[in-house]
């Protein structure tokens, strides 16, 4: 050891001063930079701390649940081979319902329009009715009327001839905040959700970041004009759909990654159980395709970032702060749709890394149609040509 030190000091010349000089010059400004970085971090942590936004813990029994389910069949490249329908004319098409008699879909757009799009070949886009608000969920009535969950205006009925009638926008004295989705039973009763009574659509992200259950699942009876709260304290109440036999109604709870089932016929009438949970992403609208499958729009999978945010209120508080003064970090990925069978079993998943905020998925004929909040078109994919497949065993 000593010998080698000795030999090196005797044989190699000391490093030239020029080599150390930049080191020392760098050092004099490095310290203030380092200190100011620390100061900035501490200051922003303090500002976040002082911010009045108060995020709560999600129920720990839910977070403690096992990991999300993996679909047995997937198509992870939905954008490959898909078409854009109505490009430039369908701004943020949030929901899609199919009217087989007219051969059109109705879709709800950001500019207040409910548009009709020909899906039996024509592809014609028609401006149908403008609600003056922001239509989200849609339901086709049994006499050609359309029911609308308008985020700002509550539940609306639009007659076949395009006349708008406002049905309800409050329950138990609490106004709806973000009316989100609606479905209609054969007996005329409407079932619908208010995602969160505390925030309107502009601030829906705050409801999610706050982590408190402001969502409600309700019914409206047009014969009595009565609005009833069926389930309250939901963590962002979202899509609703009738079962094909009219025996239950499904409603999704976005931040719990699940959809519940409310029985309206048979022995279990009035009770609620879980229809599907541990979904691979956050559920939005749910639609029945008439062929034994429900399709659920998935705005984002449960990404690593969302997983952390769901677990730690402080992270959500930090994100809300960041969102207020700068821009919310993008935490969404692999949006798309999942298919579940009549028993709530996950059977397929269709997604793409390039997709965000897909809000609805529905299979019509051979095609999957996807609605979303960010694009100006509906995405259509031929499922015969691009099906979901089981992972290959050679992997």
Ligand X SMILES: *[C@@H]1O[C@H](CO)[C@@H](O)[C@H](O)[C@H]1NC(C)=O
* Residue 120 lies near ligand X (rule: CB under 6 A): yes
Q: How far apart are CA 375 and CA 109, in angstroms?
A: 10
Taking the least distance from each CB to ligand X, the nearer of 329 and 387 is: 387
- C-beta separation of 349 from 388 below 8 A: yes
Residue 362 neighbours by CB under 8 Å, 6+ apart = 96, 97, 98, 287, 289, 295, 368, 369
Taking the least distance from each CB to ligand X, the nearer of 141 and 365 is: 365
64-72, 132-140, 147-155, 361-369 -> range binding ligand X (CB under 6 A): 361-369
At its nearest, how many Å lie between ligand X and the CB of residue 374? 26
Binding residue (CB under 6 A) for ligand X from 36, 132, 366, 390: 366
Reported as half-sphere exposure (CB side, CA atoms, 13 A), residue 179 has a value of 30
- C-beta separation of 263 from 50 below 8 A: no
Taking the least distance from each CB to ligand X, the nearer of 98 and 113 is: 98
At its nearest, how many Å lie between ligand X and the CB of residue 103? 3
Taking the least distance from each CB to ligand X, the nearer of 100 and 391 is: 100
Q: Which of residues 75-114 bind ligand X (CB under 6 A)?
A: 100, 103
236: its two tokens: 């962002």
C-alpha gyration radius of the chain:
26
Q: Which of residues 278-337 bind ligand X (CB under 6 A)?
A: none
Binding residue (CB under 6 A) for ligand X from 384, 392, 393, 394: 384
* Residue 118 lies near ligand X (rule: CB under 6 A): no
Taking the least distance from each CB to ligand X, the nearer of 44 and 382 is: 382
* Residue 265 lies near ligand X (rule: CB under 6 A): no
At its nearest, how many Å lie between ligand X and the CB of residue 387? 10
Query: What string marks each residue from 26 to 65 as x (binds ligand X by CB under 6 A) or -?
Result: ----------------------------------------
109: its two tokens: 């757009």
**What sections of the chain are H helices per DSSP?**
2-11, 17-50, 60-63, 204-210, 304-311, 313-325
- What are the E-state strand segments in 141-247? 146-150, 154-158, 164-168, 170-171, 174-175, 179-184, 190-194, 215-221, 226-234, 237-242
At its nearest, how many Å lie between ligand X and the CB of residue 68? 31
Taking the least distance from each CB to ligand X, the nearer of 259 and 368 is: 368
Binding residue (CB under 6 A) for ligand X from 130, 365, 373, 376: 365
Binding residue (CB under 6 A) for ligand X from 4, 223, 327, 385: 385
Tell me the sheet residues that pair with 159: none
- C-beta separation of 95 from 285 below 8 A: yes
356: its two tokens: 């965000």
Tell me the site size for ligand X, rule CB under 6 A.
Answer: 9
Taking the least distance from each CB to ligand X, the nearer of 209 and 379 is: 379
At its nearest, how many Å lie between ligand X and the CB of residue 210? 42
Question: In what helix (H) or strand (E) does residue 130 lie, and over which residues does it extend?
Answer: strand 125-130
At its nearest, how many Å lie between ligand X and the CB of residue 121? 8
Q: What one-character DSSP code corresponds to residue 202?
A: G
142-150, 263-271, 299-307, 382-390 -> range binding ligand X (CB under 6 A): 382-390
CB atoms within 10 A of CB 324: 12
> 275-297 burial by CB neighbour count: b if 16+ within 10 A, else e?
bbbbbbbbbbbbbbbeeebbbbb
Give me the residues that bind ligand X (CB under 6 A), please. Answer: 100, 103, 120, 364-366, 382, 384-385
């Amino acid at each position: 050891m000593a010998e080698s030190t000795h030999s090196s000091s005797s044989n190699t010349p000391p490093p030239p001063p020029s080599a150390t000089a930049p080191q020392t010059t760098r050092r004099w400004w490095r310290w203030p930079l380092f200190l100011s970085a620390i100061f900035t971090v501490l200051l922003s942590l303090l500002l976040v701390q002082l911010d009045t936004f108060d995020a709560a813990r999600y129920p720990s029994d839910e977070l403690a649940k096992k990991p999300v389910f993996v679909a047995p069949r997937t198509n992870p490249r939905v954008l490959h081979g898909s078409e854009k329908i109505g490009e430039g004319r369908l701004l943020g098409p949030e929901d899609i319902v199919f009217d087989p008699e007219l051969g059109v879909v109705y879709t709800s757009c950001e500019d207040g329009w409910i548009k009709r799009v020909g899906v039996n070949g024509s592809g014609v886009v028609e401006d149908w009715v403008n609600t003056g608000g922001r239509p989200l969920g849609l339901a086709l009535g049994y006499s050609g009327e359309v029911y609308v969950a308008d985020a700002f205006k509550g539940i609306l009925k639009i007659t076949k001839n395009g006349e708008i009638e406002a049905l309800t926008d409050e329950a138990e004295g609490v106004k709806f905040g973000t009316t989100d989705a609606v479905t209609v039973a054969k007996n005329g009763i409407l079932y619908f959700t208010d995602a969160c009574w505390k925030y309107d659509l502009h601030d829906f992200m705050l409801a999610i970041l706050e982590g408190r259950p402001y969502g409600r699942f309700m019914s409206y009876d047009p014969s009595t004009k009565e609005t009833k709260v069926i389930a309250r304290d939901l963590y962002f109440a979202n899509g609703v759909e009738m079962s094909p036999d009219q025996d239950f109604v499904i409603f999704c709870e976005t931040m719990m990654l699940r959809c519940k089932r409310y029985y309206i016929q048979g022995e279990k009438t009035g009770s609620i159980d879980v229809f599907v949970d541990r979904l691979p992403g956050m559920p939005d609208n749910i639609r029945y395709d008439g062929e034994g499958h429900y399709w659920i729009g998935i705005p984002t999978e449960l990404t690593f970032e969302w997983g952390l945010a769901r677990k730690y209120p402080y992270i959500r508080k930090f994100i809300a702060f960041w969102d207020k003064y700068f821009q919310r970090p993008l935490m969404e990925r692999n949006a798309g749709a999942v298919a579940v069978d009549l028993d709530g079993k996950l059977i397929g998943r269709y997604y793409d890394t390039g997709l965000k905020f897909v809000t609805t998925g529905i299979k019509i004929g051979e095609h999957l149609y996807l609605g979303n909040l960010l694009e100006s078109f509906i995405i259509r994919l031929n499922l015969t040509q691009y099906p979901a497949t089981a992972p290959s065993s050679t992997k």
